[in-house]
A and B are shown apart, each in its own frame.
Chain A
Amino acid sequence: MSGYDWGEFYCEMQSQQDQPHLTRITQRLNGLDISALRRRSRDAERELFNLGITFTVYTDREAIDRILPFDVIPRVLSKQDWATIETGVKQRVAALNLFLHDIYHDGHILKDGIIPEALVTGNKHYRPEMKGVDVPKGTYVHICGTDLVRDQKGTFCVLEDNGRCPSGVSYVLENRHLMMRAFPDLADGVPIADVDAYGSRLARAMSKVAPQNMSNPTIALLSPGIYNSAYFEHVFLAREMGVQLVEGRDLLVDDDRVFMRTTSGKQRVDVIYRRIDDAFLDPKAFRPDSQLGVPGMFEAYRKGNVNLANAVGTGVADDKAVYAYMPRIIRYYLDEDPILPNVPTNICGEEEGLKKTLDNLDELVSKPVGEAGGYGVVVGPRASKRELANLRSLIKADPGNYISQPMVGLSVSPTLIGRAIEPRHVDLRPFALTGEDTWVLPGGLTRVAMKRGSLIVNSSQGGGSKDTWVLV
């Protein structure tokens, strides 16, 4: 690791050298020559390919299997850091579930003016069909992926909540298996929290939210099918949970009950872990052109004859605009301060936020709240004068449609790049499971931006992943 310079950023390994285990891991890495490290890295990637832990890119004639690049240097979280993340995520999930129940029932939070009603009921992920529907145990977000980043001071902040169909957990488990085969000596004597329980925990959470408190429900995982890029994960989870993996065409609804087509005829299904968006779930209730869904399933759900995880209509809670209100939502329902802060967010719909935004436009990242996929985002320090002027008039014309945030200098982690170890920016997505109560998988998915200086960790942009070790 000689010559490794993490600059002004927080380094996941070097900034924590007061942790004896991290010192030990650093020493071990220093004791390896780079060729040995590269060999282990190549072996690991070949294994990923052979195991078919791939996402598939389809062209006209061929299916090309790609692996998510895997970096052999783990990201390590101290006991203290993990305690903060774990309690913070639990708090956030609790608030999200209370919020969703409220907005689909009496809407106290709207009446009390904590969050503008239009922001909620006018949101494209808000499902009026869910109004008055009671879901088992009041749990809407059974599986939650909270995207965290660490700023230059080392504080974890929430960047985004994923309360619809968060993906990536299969990589957490497979990365660990891979790491233990490729690099068993690195972890020698370092106590690391186990991740293997995820599948059984998930199955348990699903059975806790079965309709009518039934004790031995039939659970199925509903996938869009083998051409979905996350199909590997669906297979992986079905196997880890020991449940059936089905597609929409394997299910049918009869008398508002959901059944699987099996070799012995129709078999009742009680809980469905669905990896299909709301819009495609049921052509009778939502998009009529959906080929992936099951006609009549929503009615069966509304009547309480089947449960769906996550619940329908959770998208409203992980929206950018609602995100800005999350600290207030947490205070409103739990009467607690948020354990994990948001990235400071200026809400332009409010006078103070608007002023701060307009005064510092060239330093802030401004985002229209109604858009997805980074559309309309203006990064102040990188924008031209003209772009900023244009943005200024857009915000003034419709302040409620904008939020702004300071640039966050994401933490870095030592990463094997070619023949050197270099700092690369990382984020963290812990996974929380909620049936009756909430359990957080120790660790989570660490995504790493493989390009120098890049802050974009998405796999579609050349991002990779690392094994994430939680010290116990």
Chain B
Amino acid sequence: MFSLVSRFAANTFWLGRYLERVENVARILHINETYARDKPEGPDWQRVLDLYSDSERFHEAHEDASAQSVLQFYIRDRNNPSSIVSSIVNARENARSVRHLISTEMWTHLNIFYSQLLKMKAREILPSTLANTANDIILSCQTFEGIAEGTFLRGEPSCFYHLGKYIERADQTTRILDIGYALLPLGEGDAVTSVQWNVLLRSVSGYHAYRSRYPSGTRVEDIERFLLYDNEFPRALMLCVSRITDRVRDLEKRHGTERHSEVERTRRQLEFALETGPGNDLTPERLHAFLDRVQIHLGNVTNAVSQTYFG
């Protein structure tokens, strides 16, 4: 049996990351639009730009962060590297390089998804129809995921694919929680707070999961615990990190402990950061600082994987 060509390890890793990113960008645009319905001043689209640190680049080309301009920027702007269309182009280029390693069904679905997105016109992207557009995009990502689950050989390529996917998902969950704390009221128990946090839960497909875990009601700190530490909710940070650990262990088995040491070291730091947590007396600032730390550790794991295997 041959080992995987390093470049293909990178391609499958980024294939997983880009598709996960597409799904989450669609989720975040959706949440931001939905929250705004209760606010007289409308949604604050600048927040989304801040969340992805895209503000500077956005304002080079646009005056105001209007709904229309931010949606175009994140959905179909080819010049924005974090737009959905750019991520799909990148996912497809990566998939094209490893077409012999992924299944024909995966490639075909991605190819159709890509043509549909490229065909989308500027006028088709409106705040009023965003829910549908976002749902279509999310559904296409989930379909891909299902096809991969059913057809992708469970060898080294799929290991890198899942590693990329869970690193991205962990990163995106921290961003969704971050935007929630920045946007939403933190008052306990009042109706407005519940409604809005429930929307956030729904945006990560976590509403019913949360209900079954915490039947007593919507409490901000329970939601935070749920999104960070739940062991069974697929988008919870803890679960993503434990999937990352599984894949890292698979690679270690394949390549030996020594070759793997830097990846393992960064992974342990990530785990440690998660165990230490944001601390008590949670303030939005403290949570934000914690989420930032987690993002940095995820970046460190990515760099270690890249230096060890992609070179």
Which chain B positions have C-beta within 8 A of A61? 78
Let me know if A264 and B5 touch, CB within 8 A.
no
Query: C-beta contact mask, B76-97 vs A, less than 8 Å → 1, else 0?
Result: 0010000000000000010011
| Number of chain B interface residues as a range | 20 to 34
Closest 10 CB pairs of A and B: A262-B3, A239-B100, A264-B3, A235-B99, A238-B100, A263-B309, A52-B111, A261-B6, A263-B4, A235-B100
Indicate whether B255 reaches chain A with its CB closer than 8 angstroms.
Answer: yes
- Interface of B, secondary structure class, is helix
Which chain B positions have C-beta within 8 A of A250? 5-7
Indicate whether A83 reaches chain B with its CB closer than 8 angstroms.
Answer: no
User: Which of A241-249, A355-363, A450-458 forms contacts with chain B?
Assistant: A241-249
Indicate whether B311 reaches chain A with its CB closer than 8 angstroms.
Answer: yes
Which chain A positions have C-beta within 8 A of B259? 264-265
Bound together, the chains give a CA A249 to CA B111 distance in angstroms of: 26
Let me know if B108 and A52 touch, CB within 8 A.
yes
Let me know if B7 and A264 touch, CB within 8 A.
no
Indicate whether B156 reaches chain A with its CB closer than 8 angstroms.
Answer: yes
What is the distance, in angstroms, from A29's C-beta to the closest C-beta of chain B? 29
Indicate whether A212 reaches chain B with its CB closer than 8 angstroms.
Answer: no
What is the distance, in angstroms, from A43's C-beta to the closest C-beta of chain B? 15
Given A51-B104, A262-B2, A263-B3: A231 touches B96 (CB 8 Å cut-off): yes
What is the distance, in angstroms, from B305's C-beta to the closest C-beta of chain A? 10
Indicate whether B290 reaches chain A with its CB closer than 8 angstroms.
Answer: no
Let me know if B254 and A260 touch, CB within 8 A.
no
Q: Which of B4, B99, B115 has the most CB of A within 10 A?
A: B99
B interface residues with partner A (beta carbon < 8 Å):
2-7, 9, 78, 93, 96-97, 99-100, 104, 107-108, 111-112, 115, 156, 251, 254-255, 259, 309, 311
Within 8 A of B (CB), among A214-249: 218, 226, 231, 235-236, 238-239, 244-247, 249
- Interface of A, secondary structure class, is mixed
Pick from A238, A245, A262: contact of B6, CB below 8 A.
Answer: A262
A interface residues with partner B (beta carbon < 8 Å):
49-52, 61, 218, 226, 231, 235-236, 238-239, 244-247, 249-250, 260-265, 267
What is the distance, in angstroms, from B93's C-beta to the closest C-beta of chain A? 7
Given A52-B107, A52-B111, A244-B2: A226 touches B97 (CB 8 Å cut-off): yes
Bound together, the chains give a CA A231 to CA B107 distance in angstroms of: 14
CB-nearest residue of chain B to A235: B99
Given A238-B100, A263-B255, A264-B254: A246 touches B5 (CB 8 Å cut-off): yes
Which chain B positions have C-beta within 8 A of A267? 2-3
Q: Which of A61, A244, A264, A265 has the most CB of B within 10 A?
A: A264
Let me know if A244 and B254 touch, CB within 8 A.
no
Let me know if A226 and B100 touch, CB within 8 A.
no
What is the distance, in angstroms, from A67's C-beta to the closest C-beta of chain B? 12
Which chain B positions have C-beta within 8 A of A264? 3, 254-255, 259
A sample of 6 inter-chain contacts (CB < 8 A) reads: A235-B96, A236-B100, A261-B5, A263-B5, A264-B3, A265-B259
Bound together, the chains give a CA A38 to CA B259 distance in angstroms of: 58
Which chain A positions have C-beta within 8 A of B311? 261
Let me know if A247 and B7 touch, CB within 8 A.
yes
Given contact pairs A61-B78, A235-B99, enumerate 10 new A-B contacts (beta carbons under 8 Å).
Answer: A50-B108, A51-B108, A52-B107, A238-B100, A260-B3, A261-B311, A262-B2, A262-B3, A263-B4, A264-B3
